[in-house]
Chain A
């Protein structure tokens, strides 16, 4: 299996622009998570899906952030409009059903907003 696949690996954009991050989870995984990593706040859970349905979006910082999962093999995280403080590494992760099943991370997208 290729693992969790994220694109792009790096994104540099100007503030005010729309940013879309993409994720393909491991085939057969029921849960998909979006995390943001910064030096100041560590690994923060933004939102997670179960069987393509958003379950908990309490970590989404503002209305500028939105996430979708139109099917079992694809999810997007969108920031519109982007701001410099959104600069971070965004990780997508997935796992199978079962509270104790391991979480598998993608390689992340490093976002820089200037």
Chain B
């Protein structure tokens, strides 16, 4: 199937702490796993992506890890800041790789 489950649905952390969001999927053919950030009233924007031939990718304070055997991948944000507050969506490519199916989103709130 094309389902992707995302947890947690809401996450509240103190500024400076780390945040981790996890997604699991069922389509073993998926080989592209992007993460999008959506601020209130704005469009989703790609923040990081990973392909199935690597297990981890890092870009400054954000990182994504992939376990293809277990079919899950996670977003890690370190040293969180108030501007990290947003909804984060994971996605997988499905339908022969041509389309993206999104998770249900995680509302991250970084508190001062």
The reply to whether the CB of B99 lies closer than 8 angstroms to some CB of chain A is: yes
Residues from chain A with a CB closer than 8 A to the CB of B44 are: 43, 91, 105
Q: How far is the CA of A50 from the CA of B98 in the complex (A)?
A: 9
| Chain A residues near B105 (CB-CB < 8 A) | 42-43
Q: What does the 1/0 interface line of A45-61 toward B look like (CB < 8 Å)?
A: 10010100001100000
Tally A residues with Cβ within 8 Å of B.
19
Contact check, B104 vs A42: say whether CB atoms are below 8 A apart: yes
Q: Is the CB of B45 within 8 A of A43?
A: no
Q: Is the CB of A107 within 8 A of B43?
A: yes
Interface string of B54-82 (1 = CB under 8 A from A): 00000000000000000000000000000
Please tell me the number of chain B residues within 8 Å of chain A, measured between CB atoms.
Answer: 23
Question: What 4 pairs between A and B have smallest CB-CB spacing?
Answer: A99-B97, A43-B102, A105-B43, A100-B32
Given A100-B32, A102-B34, 20 extra CB contacts under 8 A = A33-B99, A42-B102, A43-B44, A43-B89, A43-B102, A45-B101, A48-B99, A55-B98, A56-B99, A91-B43, A100-B31, A100-B49, A102-B46, A102-B49, A103-B34, A103-B100, A105-B45, A107-B42, A107-B43, A108-B43
Could you tell me which A residues sit within 8 Å of B by CB distance? 31, 33, 42-43, 45, 48, 50, 55-56, 91, 99-100, 102-108
